[in-house]
């Protein structure tokens, strides 16, 4: 480069010379000329980067201002959603759509895409309000897409006087921080001066989230009508959001085949990999873990070489499954359509950020296989919208009744859909007069979501491999149909063969707070029955690695539970070897069905109460619980409260506070599901 040449020449000049030669003068002149030229050349280019930041300002304001967008598109209701699995987003869309029935115009919005500090400006729009459908995730946390909004609420002192709002929370009572995000949003917006139009709704996914939402919605709209002095238009017919475009002559290279984001992303993989751009990991291991019984527990290994994906023990791996081809074909046959027709569903609202309900153009087959949830029981809004296509008046009436808030309607939906576990194909089979157009069905079905599994490996030992431990879900329902879990059956069939054909799984890693202590010398107490052992296999392997590195590893204690020792003692050989090697200080296993009375992990905890209390209270031990939230996690909580009362001499209230403090300090961590 010019600079390298200059510095070399300057070095030459430092050699002692008796007199300046003509060569020296020539070189100095050259250097001076180059410096002057470079100086002026640089000056000319300087204004370019200065101008750049100013050019995108106008479009940026237009993009992030939901107020300007509402004014421009004549909306007066905005429904924000904090959604991790898509349910809150679905509810927000339903509310935005409902607004039309009351002569208002609504829009559903992702808080991540807009500047929520503009909320105080909402009063500039007459008869306006903001509704928040907020799911709680993890240990009382906001969802990923609502984190910035949550942080803003915590830090702002904006005056929201004159801003109308309502909140519906989505949570699960089996978790300790039930609906924490919804409760905080409702409380905080009121503290900032906002006007609560209707009471906070608390949806409980442990019982019936759909029913909770409908009951809340049925009372919410009359409150809105009263506030704005409007009435229902009586317009109760179905309102389509998307129009069908059939592509008869299209280059198949432009058609989506299952990709989540970028077209052809499965053919040309480019990091970084995330939910919109999953990595296709090759399945390098797939073995059955249990030795007997009627269940199938499996250990899957995914190769992440060359993906640049990093993970820590305790993180989650998200996999995108595909639906059972038999169910997909069944829908096509029942509705008499060619599933390989190439289509797009195009949003009728041109201002909407959501141009399509799933990647388009694609085929009906791809949509039903990769993008739509066809296995779960449809929500009531799907039944309501499809009812118009039932030619039998009784079938149509029953479908509408199930979507209503009436007690008999709720009971019918509970028994006929939920308790009987009818998916959309079962509903089509059991209602012979129901013949919806397949494009309307595709518009209404929710998106097929990624499934999350606790990683069962340590990146210190397996930097290019991620292990999954899961139980295959398969049983017979009340209607004598076989219900198969989408992801677990799909993973089970990913057999490793030596015929050169490699089977792949679209995946990415989601970070978790479920972490080994920073100091390897801290004792750890791990409690994980069944497949809840998954993250602890990673923890134990990491502790073995730490010992190999010459680090002082603290006591490593595992409480594992299974049904029968000779059937489903998962990873038995490895665990017993770790115990022999001194990596596992203690291996406590509860075999619940090997004797007359049931023995669970919480019973073993109580047996070792003195030792456990000493480890927790005096030795700074970290507690980890993984598995079922509904029963096990609660019973383990209770066992620890009793230990604190019996050995530590605390009252029940003190014991509850004691363990709450441990959670706050990150010394009592849970990775649970219901």
626 classed as catalytic: yes
Whole-angstrom CA distances from 333 to 339, 371, 424, 429, 530 are 9, 19, 13, 11, 39
> Could you give the angle at the alpha carbon of 210 between the alpha carbons of 391 and 388, nearest 5°?
15
Per-residue pLDDT of 211-252, as tens digits, reads 999 999 999 999 999 999 988 876 655 678 999 999 999 999
Residue 526's DSSP bridge partners are 558, 624
Q: What is the pLDDT of residues 511-530, one digit of tens each?
A: 998 999 999 999 999 999 99
- What number of helices (H) and strands (E) belong to the chain? 24, 23
Strands 342-347 and 362-363: antiparallel
pLDDT of residue 9: 30
The yes-or-no verdict on residue 110 having pLDDT over 70 is yes
Establish whether 23 is an annotated binding residue: no
Active site residue 216: no
Mean pLDDT over the full length of the chain: 90
Q: Which helix (H) or strand (E) holds 589?
A: strand 586-591
Averaged over 391-404, what is the pLDDT?
96
Kind of pairing between the strands at 242-246 and 342-347 = antiparallel
Q: Of 360, 442, 562, 626, which is the active-site residue?
A: 626
Summarised one tens digit per residue, pLDDT across range 276-300 is 999 999 999 999 999 999 999 999 9
Q: Is 179 annotated as a binding residue?
A: yes
477 annotated among ligand-binding-site residues: no
Establish whether 360 is a catalytic residue. no
Domains of the chain (ranges, CATH numbers): 66-228 (3.40.50.360), 272-321+450-512 (2.40.30.10), 323-444 (1.20.990.10), 524-672 (3.40.50.80)
pTM of the model: 0.86
**Whether the predicted pLDDT of 15 surpasses 60:** no
The answer to whether the annotation marks 55 as part of a ligand binding site is no
Residue 16 banded pLDDT, cuts 50, 70, 90: very low
210 is in an annotated binding site: no
- Integer-rounded Cα Rg, in Å, for the chain is 30
31 annotated as ligand-binding: no
pLDDT at 109 over 60: yes
| Residue appearing with tokens 């008499």 | 336
* pLDDT above 90 for 349: no
88 is in an annotated binding site: yes
Active-site hit among 120, 307, 454, 512? 454
Give the model confidence (pLDDT) of 560-613 as tens digits.
999 999 999 999 999 999 999 999 999 999 999 999 999 999 999 999 999 999
**Tens digits of per-residue pLDDT, 179-195?**
999 999 999 999 999 99
Percent of the chain with pLDDT over 90: 83
Buried b (16+ CB within 10 A) or exposed e, 353-370: eeebbbbbbbbbbbbbbb
Strands (E), 458-543: 465-471, 474-476, 482-484, 504-510, 524-527
The count of C-alpha atoms lying within 13 angstroms of the C-alpha of 14, restricted to the half-sphere facing its C-beta, is 5
Beta partners for residue 482, in sequence order: 476
* pLDDT band with cut points at 50, 70 and 90 for residue 156: very high
Is 21 labeled as ligand-binding?
Answer: no
404 belongs to the catalytic site: no
Nearest to 130 by CA among 140, 138, 139, 120: 120
> Which of 158, 373, 628, 671 is labelled catalytic?
671
389 is in an annotated binding site: no
pLDDT for residue 511: 93
Is 462 a known ligand-binding residue?
Answer: no
d(CA 498, CA 502): 9
């Amino acid at each position: 480069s010019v600079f390298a040449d200059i510095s070399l020449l300057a070095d030459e000049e430092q050699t002692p010379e008796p007199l300046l030669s003509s060569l020296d003068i020539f070189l100095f002149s050259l250097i001076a000329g180059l410096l002057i030229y470079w100086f002026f050349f640089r000056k000319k280019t300087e204004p370019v980067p200065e101008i750049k930041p100013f050019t995108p300002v106008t479009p940026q304001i237009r993009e992030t201002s939901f107020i300007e967008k509402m004014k421009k598109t004549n909306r007066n209701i905005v429904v924000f959603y904090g959604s991790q699995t898509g349910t809150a987003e679905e509810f927000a869309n339903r509310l935005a759509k409902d607004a039309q029935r009351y002569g208002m115009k609504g829009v559903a919005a992702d808080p991540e895409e807009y500047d929520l500090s503009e909320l105080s400006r909402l009063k500039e729009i007459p008869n306006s309000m903001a509704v928040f459908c907020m799911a709680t995730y993890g240990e009382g946390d906001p969802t990923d897409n609502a984190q910035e909004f949550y942080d803003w609420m915590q830090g702002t002192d904006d005056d929201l006087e004159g801003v109308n709002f309502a909140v519906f929370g989505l949570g699960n009572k089996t978790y300790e921080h039930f609906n924490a995000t919804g409760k905080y949003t409702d409380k905080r917006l009121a503290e900032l001066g906002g006007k609560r139009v209707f009471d906070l709704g608390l949806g409980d996914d442990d019982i019936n989230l759909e029913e909770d939402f409908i009951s809340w919605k049925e009372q919410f709209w009359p409150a809105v009508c009263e506030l704005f002095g409007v009435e229902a238009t009586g317009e109760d017919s179905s309102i389509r959001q998307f129009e069908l475009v059939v592509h008869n002559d299209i280059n198949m290279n432009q058609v989506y085949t299952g990709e989540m984001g970028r077209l052809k992303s499965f053919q040309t993989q480019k990091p970084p990999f995330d939910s919109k751009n999953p990595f296709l990991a090759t399945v390098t291991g797939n073995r059955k873990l249990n030795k007997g019984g009627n269940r199938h527990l499996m250990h899957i290994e995914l190769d992440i070489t060359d993906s640049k994906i990093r993970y820590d023990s305790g993180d989650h791996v998200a996999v995108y499954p595909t639906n059972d081809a038999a169910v997909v074909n069944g829908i096509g046959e029942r509705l008499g359509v060619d599933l390989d027709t190439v289509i797009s569903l195009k949003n009728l609202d041109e201002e909407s950020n959501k141009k399509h309900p799933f990647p388009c153009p694609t085929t009906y087959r791809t949509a039903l296989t990769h993008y739509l949830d066809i296995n779960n029981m449809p929500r009531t809004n799907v039944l309501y919208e499809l009812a118009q296509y039932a030619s039998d008046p009784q079938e149509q009436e029953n479908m509408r009744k199930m979507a209503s808030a009436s007690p008999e309607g709720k009971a019918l939906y509970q028994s006929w859909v939920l308790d009987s576990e009818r998916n959309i194909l079962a509903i089509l089979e059991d209602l012979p007069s129901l013949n919806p157009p397949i494009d309307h069905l595709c518009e209404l079905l929710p998106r097929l979501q990624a499934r999350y599994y606790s990683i069962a490996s340590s990146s210190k030992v397996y930097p290019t491999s991620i292990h999954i431990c899961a139980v295959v879900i398969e049983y017979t329902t009340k209607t004598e149909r076989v219900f198969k879990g989408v992801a677990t059956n799909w993973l089970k069939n990913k057999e490793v063969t030596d015929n050169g054909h490699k089977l792949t799984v679209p995946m990415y890693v989601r970070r978790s707070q479920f972490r080994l202590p920073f100091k390897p010398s801290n004792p750890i107490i791990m409690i994980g029955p069944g497949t809840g052992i998954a993250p602890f296999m990673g923890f134990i392997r990491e502790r073995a690695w730490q010992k190999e590195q010459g680090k002082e590893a603290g006591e490593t204690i595992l409480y594992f539970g299974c049904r029968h020792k000779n059937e489903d003692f998962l990873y038995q050989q490895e665990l017993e070897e770790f115990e022999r090697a001194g990596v596992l200080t203690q291996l406590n296993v509860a075999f619940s069905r090997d004797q007359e009375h049931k023995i669970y992990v919480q019973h073993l905890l109580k047996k070792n109460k003195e030792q456990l209390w000493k480890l927790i209270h005096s030795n700074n031990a970290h507690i980890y619980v993984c598995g079922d939230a509904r029963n096990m996690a609660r019973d383990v909580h209770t066992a620890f409260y009793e230990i604190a009362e019996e050995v530590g001499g605390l009252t029940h209230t003190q014991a509850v506070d004691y363990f709450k403090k441990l959670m706050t300090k990150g010394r009592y961590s849970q990775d649970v599901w219901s």
